[in-house]
Amino acid sequence: MADKVVTGLLVKPGSNFSLKRRNPGETFGWDKERAKAELAEVIAKIDVLQVKLAAEHEHSLLVVIQAMDAAGKDGTIRAVFGPLNSAGVQVASFKAPIGHELEHDFLWRIHDVVPPRGEIGIWNRSHYEDVLVVRVKNIVPKEMWEKRYRHIREFERLLSDEGTTIVKINLHISKDEQRARLQDRINDPAKRWKFRSGDLDDRKLWPDFMKAYEVAFNETSTEYAPWYVVPADRNWVRNLAVARIVLDALQRLDPQLPPDSPGITDLVVV
């Protein structure tokens, strides 16, 4: 049965989506302690399906995570995917392209780390940077980035046709909550290493980033690679919402254990 919360987080393809209609502080009426217990239950279900995904060895699951700084990409990955069998999970983080990456098209380095059959891939940032920060900061000319929405749709179509289930998640944080978290990073010696002065430059461009996110969602949320916008001002809401999206995707993928080899049940181990 479809998870109604998950359906509510979806950016419906062709819906003229507006970020303003989504509240980063949403709690869905959940209770914090109950949500933490439920997170463990949902992860246990994901764990069972991960085993089947690996055993079936036909499909893969790609989870793209995009967000403004301090929205909790790392914390989400640790909370939701950390408890899984690490042999079947690959995390890829994307920084600004360097060296030979710049000698190729923008999807070249991306395609290389698509999760292989049987595995779950989590992308901490992604090819969407090439229509987000690149658009906002004019890193390449408009004539180049405006074609990328189509390139991305077609690339994701290819992955989907070849057996990769794709879910794309935006951790939607408010500007106020980001201010508090960045200040906390500056103030707390244990967190200071996470702070980059460039975070403040991006923060100044907040409205431009929101616009770029909105365009990206409207251009690239498809039936085969949907976007979900997750309220991220509260970590416990964010974690449970992301886990439920992942569980929902795996349930739809419905991996099956492979059939028994002929005669296996008659074998006796001596």
List the end-to-end C-alpha distance of the chain, in Å, as a whole number. 45
Among 69, 119, 177, 233, binds ligand ADP (CB under 6 A): 69
Tell me the per-residue interface mask from 160 to 179 with ligand ADP, x by CB under 6 A, - otherwise.
Answer: --------------------
Here the tokens at position 107 are: 């999807």
Cβ of 26: how many Cβ atoms within 10 Å? 19
75 binds ligand ADP (CB under 6 A): no
In the sheet where 227-231 sits, what is the strand order? 89-93, 120-124, 60-67, 164-172, 227-231
Nearer to ligand ADP, 28 or 108 (CB): 108
Nearer to ligand ADP, 38 or 101 (CB): 101
92 CB-near residues (< 8 Å, 6+ apart): 113, 121, 122, 123, 124
* Shortest spacing between CB 224 and ligand ADP, in angstroms: 23
Tokens 């399906």 sit on residue:
49
51 CB-near residues (< 8 Å, 6+ apart): 85
Among 13, 75, 83, 97, binds ligand ADP (CB under 6 A): 97
Here the tokens at position 217 are: 């969602």
Residue type, 3: D
Among 94, 123, 145, 228, binds ligand ADP (CB under 6 A): 94
* Shortest spacing between CB 65 and ligand ADP, in angstroms: 10
Among 104, 150, 192, 196, binds ligand ADP (CB under 6 A): 196
Tell me the per-residue interface mask from 102 to 141 with ligand ADP, x by CB under 6 A, - otherwise.
Answer: ----------------------xx---xx--xx----x--
Q: How many CA atoms lie within 13 A of 239 on its CB side?
A: 25
Q: How many residues bind ligand ADP (CB under 6 A)?
A: 14
Residues at the interface with ligand ADP (CB under 6 A):
69, 94-97, 124-125, 129-130, 133-134, 139, 196, 198
